[in-house]
Amino acid sequence: MAFQTRNPLHRAHQELTFRAAREAQANLLIHPVVGMTKPGDVDHFTRVRCYEAVLDKYPQATTTMSLLNLAMRMAGPREAVWHGLIRANHGCTHFIVGRDHAGPGKNSQGKDFYGPYDAQELFKQYQGEIGIEMVDFKHMVYVQEKAQYFPISEVPEGATILDISGTELRRRLAEGLEIPDWFSFPEVVSELRRTRPPRSQQGFTVFFTGFSGSGKSTIANALMVKLMEMGGRPVTLLDGDIVRKNLSSELGFSKEHRDLNIRRIGYVASEITKNGGIAICAPIAPYATTRRAVREEIEQFGAFVEVHVSTSIEECERRDRKGLYKLAREGKIKEFTGISDPYDVPENPELRVDTENVDVDNCAHQVILKLEQMGLIAG
């Protein structure tokens, strides 16, 4: 009997697969896919370490694991049938199919792509032809009084049911909260905690955006000092000027070049975030669509905190620290942001700071408070 999975196995899965194989008097093949999968899934390197820990809990002679180098398509019923065909080709006689097998979840209107039992129905229709029998994946819940798992349909009357949903599990991991032993195996939980540390230990990016001379670099520098004083995670400052010198020296200020410049910053920041560091970026980043693309790239790995430094163009021009506004007015610098080039004001930044009546230290402190509120730094 084959069990297909793209998720870590917890006690309920172990119970379910063990019972299913025993009932069918079959041996069990734990057959996880280790290819590209749905964004947000636990990476397969971590999962394999988890599976190895769970494998010890099965009777050795009747259970084995093999990795299947296959990408998930999230194609629901048709993928279930295909998964069955593959397992039949591996010599299996039974295949476990669950609720919404390989389902992609909800569409942009918030509606499920497939009905919960569509995959099982299509599978049943073709199982004879494929030569593999479908085994229904039962929803297992923990019954406190019996200290044991039961299929939800077989729970004794009046019993206390314990269950932790996938969303709740992710929340507990993100916040470093307890995951009880009845739910999973300690080895699995500790592997998951290693890859998904709580938010206060994950990498993140603070992305300042605003006009030239708005105070982005000054606030970014003050923020860097505060974060370095706190310690714990490496901090990298990707200031507009530094990036232009070291990464984008061949670029000018056309829309294409600005976008390329911001994409590069986004890529470096995403790598830093992925590896558990703090990236502070401080470019003008005038285009909302490019900022959104960078946000999406980074949010795969950690938080993206957009800070709009909202100093008005009049104030920036009045300060004119580098004398560039004067040159822009004289037409000596072309495509100058706010003068002869556009700036899309961020609509929903995590934070907006006004530098006109507030000192730099206070602005940097507002960012720190925001980070604390988001759980990114310990209070």
CA atoms of 173 and 195, how far apart (whole Å): 10
- Residue 253 lies near ligand PPS (rule: CB under 6 A): yes
φ, ψ dihedrals at 28, nearest 5°: -115, 130
Give the CA distances from residue 100 to residues 20, 151, 214, 346, in Å, rounded to whole numbers and listed in that order. 18, 17, 51, 38
Specify the residue, 187 or 259, whose C-beta has the smaller distance to ligand PPS. 259
355 binds ligand PPS (CB under 6 A): no
Task: Give 232's contacts (C-beta < 8 A, 6+ positions apart).
Answer: 201
340 annotated to bind ligand: no
Q: Minimum distance from CB of 333 to ligand PPS (Å)?
A: 5
115 is in an annotated binding site: no
**Piece of 30-38, 71-79, 87-95, 335-343 that binds ligand PPS (CB under 6 A):** 335-343
Does residue 324 bind ligand PPS (CB under 6 A)?
Answer: yes
Of 8, 103, 283, 349, the one binding ligand PPS by CB under 6 A: 283
Nearer to ligand PPS, 8 or 213 (CB): 213
Spatial distance between the Cα atoms of 377 and 370, rounded to a whole number of angstroms = 9
Q: In this structure, what DSSP letter does residue 24 have?
A: T
The annotation status of 277 as a binding-site residue, yes or no, is no
Binding of residue 261 to ligand PPS (CB under 6 A): yes
Residue 6 falls in the annotated catalytic set: yes
The span from the CA of 183 to the CA of 169, in Å, is 10
Is 146 or 332 the residue whose CB approaches ligand PPS more closely?
Answer: 332
* DSSP characters over 259-299: HHHHHHHHHHHHHHHHTT-EEEEE-----HHHHHHHHHHHH
335 touches ligand PPS by CB under 6 A: yes
Strand-pair partners of 97: 136
Q: Which of 200, 212, 270, 355 binds ligand PPS (CB under 6 A)?
A: 212
Structure tokens at 358: 């507030």
Q: Which of 127, 217, 270, 310 is in the footprint of ligand PPS by CB under 6 A?
A: 217
Is 49 annotated in the active site?
Answer: no
Tell me if 276 is assigned to a ligand binding site: no
Pick one of 47, 83, 258, 291: the residue that binds ligand PPS (CB under 6 A): 258
Catalytic-residue membership of 89? no
With CA atoms as reference, report the closest residue to 212 among 123, 324, 292. Answer: 324
Q: Which stretch binds ligand PPS (CB under 6 A): 90-98, 148-156, 159-167, 212-220?
A: 212-220
Stretch that binds ligand PPS, among 73-81, 114-122, 223-231, 255-263 (CB under 6 A): 255-263
For ligand PPS (CB under 6 A), the number of binding residues is 21
**Considering only residues 103, 213, 215, 302, which one is a binding residue for ligand PPS as defined by CB under 6 A?**
213
Q: Whole-number minimum distance, CB 282 to ligand PPS, in Å?
A: 7
Residue 203 marked ligand-binding: no
Residue 142 pairs in a beta bridge with: 149, 162
CA distance 241 to 216: 11
Out of 194, 318, 322, 332, the residue judged to bind ligand PPS by CB under 6 A? 322
Residue selected from 77, 203, 286, 346 as contacting ligand PPS according to rule CB under 6 A? 286
Sign of CA dihedral 311, 313, 318, 323: positive
Which residue sits closest to ligand PPS, CB atoms considered? 240
- Least separation, in Å, of the C-beta of 244 and ligand PPS? 5
**How distant, in Å, are the alpha carbons of 194, 240, 262, 340 from that of 220?**
30, 11, 17, 26
The C-alpha angle 187, 193, 196, rounded to 5 degrees, equals 140
Cα torsion 305, 309, 310, 315 to 10°: value is 180
Rounded to an integer, what distance in angstroms lies between the CA atom of residue 204 and that of residue 243? 19
Please give the distance of CA 295 from its chain centroid, rounded to a whole number.
Answer: 12
Question: In whole angstroms, how close is the CB of 356 to ligand PPS at the nearest point?
Answer: 16
Helices (runs of H) and strands (runs of E) counted in the chain: 13, 13
- Is 284 a binding residue for ligand PPS by CB under 6 A? The answer is yes
Contact status: 344 vs ligand PPS (CB under 6 A): no
* Catalytic residue annotation: 5-7
Residues that bind ligand PPS (CB under 6 A): 212-213, 217, 240-241, 244, 253, 258, 261-262, 283-286, 322, 324, 333, 335-337, 341
Which residues carry a binding-site annotation for ATP?
210-217
Which residues carry a binding-site annotation?
210-217
